Structure 1
Amino acid sequence: SKQATNHFSVLFYCLKIITKELDNQVPLVDEIDTKVDKATSDIKNTNVRLKQTLNQCFR
Protein backbone atom coordinates (compact mmCIF):
# COMPACT_ATOMS: atom_id res chain seq x y z
CA SER A 1 0.00 0.00 0.00
CA LYS A 2 1.00 3.62 -0.40
CA GLN A 3 1.12 4.13 3.37
CA ALA A 4 3.52 1.19 3.79
CA THR A 5 5.70 2.59 1.02
CA ASN A 6 5.78 5.98 2.75
CA HIS A 7 6.74 4.35 6.06
CA PHE A 8 9.47 2.39 4.30
CA SER A 9 10.76 5.59 2.69
CA VAL A 10 10.88 7.34 6.07
CA LEU A 11 12.70 4.39 7.66
CA PHE A 12 15.18 4.24 4.78
CA TYR A 13 15.82 7.98 5.10
CA CYS A 14 16.39 7.62 8.86
CA LEU A 15 18.76 4.72 8.22
CA LYS A 16 20.77 6.84 5.78
CA ILE A 17 21.06 9.64 8.35
CA ILE A 18 22.10 7.24 11.12
CA THR A 19 24.66 5.56 8.86
CA LYS A 20 26.14 8.92 7.88
CA GLU A 21 26.35 9.99 11.53
CA LEU A 22 28.08 6.75 12.49
CA ASP A 23 30.54 7.24 9.63
CA ASN A 24 31.25 10.74 10.95
CA GLN A 25 31.84 9.44 14.47
CA VAL A 26 34.31 6.68 13.58
CA PRO A 27 37.31 9.05 13.27
CA LEU A 28 36.37 10.72 16.57
CA VAL A 29 36.18 7.39 18.37
CA ASP A 30 39.51 6.34 16.84
CA GLU A 31 41.12 9.59 17.99
CA ILE A 32 39.76 9.16 21.52
CA ASP A 33 41.01 5.57 21.58
CA THR A 34 44.50 6.71 20.54
CA LYS A 35 44.54 9.42 23.21
CA VAL A 36 43.41 6.98 25.90
CA ASP A 37 46.15 4.54 24.87
CA LYS A 38 48.75 7.33 25.09
CA ALA A 39 47.45 8.47 28.47
CA THR A 40 47.60 4.89 29.76
CA SER A 41 51.17 4.55 28.52
CA ASP A 42 52.16 7.90 30.07
CA ILE A 43 50.67 6.87 33.43
CA LYS A 44 52.53 3.56 33.36
CA ASN A 45 55.81 5.34 32.58
CA THR A 46 55.19 7.87 35.34
CA ASN A 47 54.49 5.07 37.80
CA VAL A 48 57.76 3.35 36.87
CA ARG A 49 59.71 6.58 37.38
CA LEU A 50 57.93 7.25 40.67
CA LYS A 51 58.75 3.76 41.92
CA GLN A 52 62.41 4.24 40.96
CA THR A 53 62.52 7.59 42.74
CA LEU A 54 60.93 6.19 45.88
CA ASN A 55 63.31 3.23 45.87
CA GLN A 56 66.28 5.63 45.67
CA CYS A 57 64.91 7.71 48.55
CA PHE A 58 64.55 4.72 50.86
CA ARG A 59 67.86 2.98 50.19
Structure 2
Amino acid sequence: MEQGIWLKGLNSKEGCNGMRFRTLILAILLIITFFITSAHFATFVLGRLSSNGNPNPKNFVKKDQ
Protein backbone atom coordinates (compact mmCIF):
# COMPACT_ATOMS: atom_id res chain seq x y z
CA MET A 1 0.00 0.00 0.00
CA GLU A 2 1.32 3.43 -0.94
CA GLN A 3 2.12 5.71 2.00
CA GLY A 4 2.07 9.45 2.10
CA ILE A 5 5.27 11.45 2.17
CA TRP A 6 4.90 12.12 5.90
CA LEU A 7 4.84 8.46 6.92
CA LYS A 8 7.13 6.98 4.28
CA GLY A 9 10.22 6.92 6.52
CA LEU A 10 8.49 5.58 9.61
CA ASN A 11 8.16 2.01 8.33
CA SER A 12 11.32 1.79 6.27
CA LYS A 13 13.48 -1.35 6.42
CA GLU A 14 16.53 0.50 7.69
CA GLY A 15 14.56 1.41 10.80
CA CYS A 16 13.35 4.67 12.20
CA ASN A 17 15.25 6.34 15.00
CA GLY A 18 12.18 8.33 15.99
CA MET A 19 13.63 11.67 14.98
CA ARG A 20 11.33 12.02 11.96
CA PHE A 21 8.31 11.15 14.07
CA ARG A 22 9.25 13.65 16.78
CA THR A 23 9.85 16.33 14.16
CA LEU A 24 6.46 15.60 12.58
CA ILE A 25 4.66 15.86 15.93
CA LEU A 26 6.51 19.07 16.79
CA ALA A 27 5.60 20.61 13.42
CA ILE A 28 1.93 19.71 13.86
CA LEU A 29 1.87 21.18 17.38
CA LEU A 30 3.52 24.39 16.19
CA ILE A 31 1.02 24.77 13.36
CA ILE A 32 -1.92 24.21 15.72
CA THR A 33 -0.46 26.75 18.17
CA PHE A 34 -0.01 29.26 15.37
CA PHE A 35 -3.64 28.99 14.25
CA ILE A 36 -5.03 29.21 17.79
CA THR A 37 -2.98 32.28 18.71
CA SER A 38 -3.73 33.93 15.36
CA ALA A 39 -7.47 33.47 15.84
CA HIS A 40 -7.30 34.80 19.40
CA PHE A 41 -5.32 37.88 18.40
CA ALA A 42 -7.58 38.55 15.41
CA THR A 43 -10.61 38.51 17.73
CA PHE A 44 -8.88 41.01 20.00
CA VAL A 45 -7.97 43.33 17.12
CA LEU A 46 -11.43 43.20 15.57
CA GLY A 47 -13.06 43.89 18.94
CA ARG A 48 -10.81 46.86 19.45
CA LEU A 49 -11.49 48.22 15.96
CA SER A 50 -15.24 47.82 16.29
CA SER A 51 -15.23 49.73 19.60
CA ASN A 52 -13.39 52.74 18.13
CA GLY A 53 -9.98 51.88 19.56
CA ASN A 54 -11.07 51.09 23.11
CA PRO A 55 -8.32 48.84 24.56
CA ASN A 56 -10.93 47.02 26.68
CA PRO A 57 -13.97 46.36 24.48
CA LYS A 58 -17.17 45.19 26.13
CA ASN A 59 -17.87 41.46 26.26
CA PHE A 60 -20.75 41.57 23.78
CA VAL A 61 -18.32 42.90 21.16
CA LYS A 62 -15.89 40.01 21.73
CA LYS A 63 -18.46 37.16 21.78
CA ASP A 64 -20.18 35.44 18.88
CA GLN A 65 -23.78 36.48 18.60
TM-score, normalized by the shorter chain, greater than 0.5: yes
Q: Greater helix share, 1 or 2?
A: 1
Looking at structure 2, the residues matched to 20 and 48 of structure 1 have their Cα atoms a distance apart, in angstroms, of 42
- Could you say which structure has the larger radius of gyration? 1
Unaligned runs of 5+ in 1: 1-14
Q: Percent identity?
A: 5
Q: What's the TM-score once normalised by structure 1's chain length?
A: 0.60
- Give the length in aligned residue pairs: 42
Taking only aligned residues, the RMSD between alpha carbons, in angstroms, comes to: 1.9
Looking at structure 1, the residues matched to 22 and 39 of structure 2 have their Cα atoms a distance apart, in angstroms, of 26
Between 1 and 2, higher relative CO (CA 8 Å, sep ≥ 6) is seen in 2
Task: Flag as ranges the 4+ runs of structure 1 deviating above 2 A.
Answer: none
In the alignment, does 2:55 pair up with 1:20? Answer: no
Unaligned runs of 5+ in 2: 1-11, 54-65
